């Protein structure tokens, strides 16, 4: 996943490079899988362009980027695990992001035994101080 944003635009542009799709939770809406069209794997030069998706990041929005090790658990279906993860993200409104990452990892691997590497990056959008409400 490649993600870029301009601090003044309140938007983020994404290109999927072989990873699982991100989760997006607006402050007023439930978390959901962000529909980002997949592109070639990162590092594989196919000569193709990566399709990009731009999404608004309103104040209070949380964006979750993570590797497949968080949701591809032996004996579980990744779609269900991802949906469960989105539901867990919904219960964490206002939590410290570092603590939230710990909770998300513990939620999907309650035994603490991982079968794959796990990386999680959370981003929460805030209103700029001089930005009108």
Give 34-86 pLDDT, tens digit per residue: 887 776 666 666 776 777 777 778 888 898 998 888 888 777 888 888 888 89
| Tally of CA atoms within 13 A in the half-sphere of 126 that contains its CB | 4
Per cent of the chain over pLDDT 70 is 71
* Edge-to-edge order in the sheet of strand 2-6: 2-6, 11-15, 53-56
Question: Can you identify the CATH homologous superfamily of domain 2-124?
Answer: PPM-type phosphatase domain (3.60.40.10)
Q: What average pLDDT score do residues 6-17 get?
A: 57
Give the domain ranges of the chain: 2-124
- The whole-number pLDDT of residue 129 equals 63
Cα–Cα dist 59/79, whole Å: 28
């Amino acid at each position: 996943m490649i993600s870029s944003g301009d601090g003044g635009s309140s938007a983020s542009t994404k290109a999927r490079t072989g990873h699982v799709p991100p989760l997006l939770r607006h402050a007023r809406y439930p978390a959901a899988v962000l529909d980002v069209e997949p592109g070639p794997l990162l590092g594989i030069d196919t000569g193709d362009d990566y399709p990009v998706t731009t999404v608004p990041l309103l104040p209070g929005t949380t964006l979750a980027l993570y590797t497949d090790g968080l949701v591809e658990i032996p004996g579980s279906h990744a779609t269900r695990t991802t949906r469960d993860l989105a539901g867990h993200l919904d219960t964490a409104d206002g939590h410290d992001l570092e603590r939230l990452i710990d909770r998300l990892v513990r939620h999907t691997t309650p035994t603490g035994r991982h079968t794959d590497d796990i990386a999680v990056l959370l981003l929460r959008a805030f209103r700029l101080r001089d930005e009108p409400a």
